[in-house]
Amino acid sequence: MKVEYIVRRVKKDKLKSIAYKIIEGKRLSYEDGVSLFYDADLAYVGALAEYVNRKKNGMFAYFIVNRQINPTNVCVYQCNFCAFGVTKSDPRAYEMTLEEVLKKAEETYRQGGREVHIVGGVPPNWQVEDYVRLVREIKRSFPDLVVKAWTAIEVHHMSKVSKRSYEDILRELKDAGLDAMPGGGAEIFSERVRKVIAPYKANAQEYLEVHRTAHRLGIPSNATMLYGHLETYEERVEHMIKLRELQDETGGFQVFIPLAYWPEGTRLGGKRTSSVDDLKTIAISRLILDNFDHIKAYWITLGEKVAQIALNFGADDLDGTIEEEKIVHSAGTKSALGHSKEKLIKLIKDAGKVPVERDTFYKPVAIYG
């Protein structure tokens, strides 16, 4: 269905004018984004988002053969939305040895994986050298594996405990073999909400400053937004616009990943997001973030079926095979793990898209036409 046909059918002038802006390639304002959340239905934002996505990515939808490694769940920050991080004395606390981490990296490499995504808690006793050593040893053992590691939260923490600048720390990590940074830790930038859900860790400005510094040093990174807890639609749009502003400045973000909140076992509690909210949030992010090439439908939080549908609502990437994931599984998701490459290819094909196996930097390594 042509997007112009969909625009003609919509009754509200405001929504019509937003659609014309999109067709003319003009940037949406904060008010436009808020209006899409409140006034537009899913089919409308979905059609517009898919129009934009196809202009950017054609019929391609991406995935990567990768593995997540969560080296420890011990965390000083104890965010209220998180069911993964525990204190050192908690009976659930664990810390992997370097050998255990390397064994996981080896498995990934042997299975044809291209990336290890390292994300975990922030333990009280870790020094900068502990974070650097992990990167250096993985890279030394498996030079071909891309190391996507440590969020802005960890980098800010390292800076705090060592009294060194973000730049200094990121340079050392890069020299050790850090190739890219994941987007975790953004949560929601609104100070009002952050005070309640994540009162102790890096704030919005600090998160953005770490990414700004990484981009300046040639370390590409990803961006996330945790939604579906206490934030308003206005705060979601404000979050996206802050990312869009930084992207205008640096161009260093590779992909935006909306993360649906899972409440089980968290201190914050609450309800799960609806699939309509998930798809609308993905679609609206595609429309607001005009300077991001990619939007990820993270199947761990969305579930495979919604992630698959999202590929027709503005998303063009499914993340990857992942193998292991503890953060959202601690909070209740039942997404099965250890998906084969073939399973992801089938999910994408059944969504009517052309599967592209990519590397961390969205360079295609195989097209399954």
Q: What is the 3-state secondary structure (H, E, C) of 242-292?
A: HHHHHHHHHCCEEEEEEEECCCCCCCCCCCCCCHHHHHHHHHHHHHHCCCC
Please select the residue that binds ligand V47; options are 118, 169, 208, 226, rule is CB under 6 A: 226
Neighbours of 336 (CB within 10 A): 11
Please select the residue that binds ligand V47; options are 328, 344, 347, 356, rule is CB under 6 A: 328
Distances (CA, A) of 4 to 17, 22, 203, 283: 12, 11, 41, 17
Contact yes or no for 316/289 (Cβ under 8 A): no
Window of 23-31, 75-83, 275-283, 305-313 that interacts with ligand V47 by CB under 6 A? 75-83
Please select the residue that binds ligand V47; options are 22, 202, 257, 347, rule is CB under 6 A: 257
Please select the residue that binds ligand V47; options are 7, 28, 52, 119, rule is CB under 6 A: 119
Contact yes or no for 188/235 (Cβ under 8 A): yes
Sign of CA dihedral 126, 113, 363, 349: negative
Sign of CA dihedral 183, 40, 355, 274: positive
What is the DSSP secondary-structure string of 12-34? -HHHHHHHHHHHTTPPPPHHHHH
Binding mask 11-50 for ligand V47 (x = CB under 6 A): ----------------------------------------
* Minimum distance from residue 177 beta carbon to ligand V47 (Å): 18
The smaller minimum CB distance to ligand V47, of residues 15 and 198, is found at 198
Please select the residue that binds ligand V47; options are 154, 172, 206, 319, rule is CB under 6 A: 319
Max Cα–Cα distance, the chain, nearest Å? 61
Window of 95-103, 238-246, 258-266, 343-351 that interacts with ligand V47 by CB under 6 A? 258-266
The smaller minimum CB distance to ligand V47, of residues 63 and 261, is found at 261
Q: Which residues contact 105 (CB under 8 A, 6 or more apart)?
A: 67, 69, 116, 138, 141, 142, 145
Q: Does 224 bind ligand V47 (CB under 6 A)?
A: yes
The smaller minimum CB distance to ligand V47, of residues 213 and 273, is found at 273
Window of 2-10, 28-36, 170-178, 218-226 that interacts with ligand V47 by CB under 6 A? 218-226
Q: Which residues are paired to 149 by β-bridges?
A: 118
Chain positions 150 to 169 lying near ligand V47, rule: CB under 6 A, are: none
Residues near ligand V47 (CB under 6 A), total: 23
Contact yes or no for 316/326 (Cβ under 8 A): no
Neighbours of 15 (CB within 10 A): 20
Window of 41-49, 184-192, 202-210, 269-277 that interacts with ligand V47 by CB under 6 A? 184-192
What is the Cα–Cα distance from 83 to 111, expressed in whole angstroms?
Answer: 30
Q: Does 57 bind ligand V47 (CB under 6 A)?
A: no
* Minimum distance from residue 266 beta carbon to ligand V47 (Å): 5
Binding mask 299-318 for ligand V47 (x = CB under 6 A): --x-----------------
Please select the residue that binds ligand V47; options are 183, 252, 258, 314, rule is CB under 6 A: 183
Q: Does 81 bind ligand V47 (CB under 6 A)?
A: yes
Q: Which of 277, 258, 273 minimizes the C-alpha distance to 332?
A: 273
Q: Does 292 bind ligand V47 (CB under 6 A)?
A: no
The smaller minimum CB distance to ligand V47, of residues 66 and 312, is found at 66
Q: Does 86 bind ligand V47 (CB under 6 A)?
A: no
Contact yes or no for 66/322 (Cβ under 8 A): yes
Q: Does 72 bind ligand V47 (CB under 6 A)?
A: no
Window of 11-19, 51-59, 79-87, 103-111 that interacts with ligand V47 by CB under 6 A? 79-87
What is the Cα–Cα distance from 369 to 365, expressed in whole angstroms?
Answer: 13
Q: Which of 127, 169, 152 minimizes the C-alpha distance to 206?
A: 152
Which residues in this chain contact ligand V47 in the complex, by CB under 6 A?
Answer: 81-83, 119, 182-185, 187, 222, 224, 226, 257, 259, 261-262, 266, 298, 301, 319, 327-328, 331
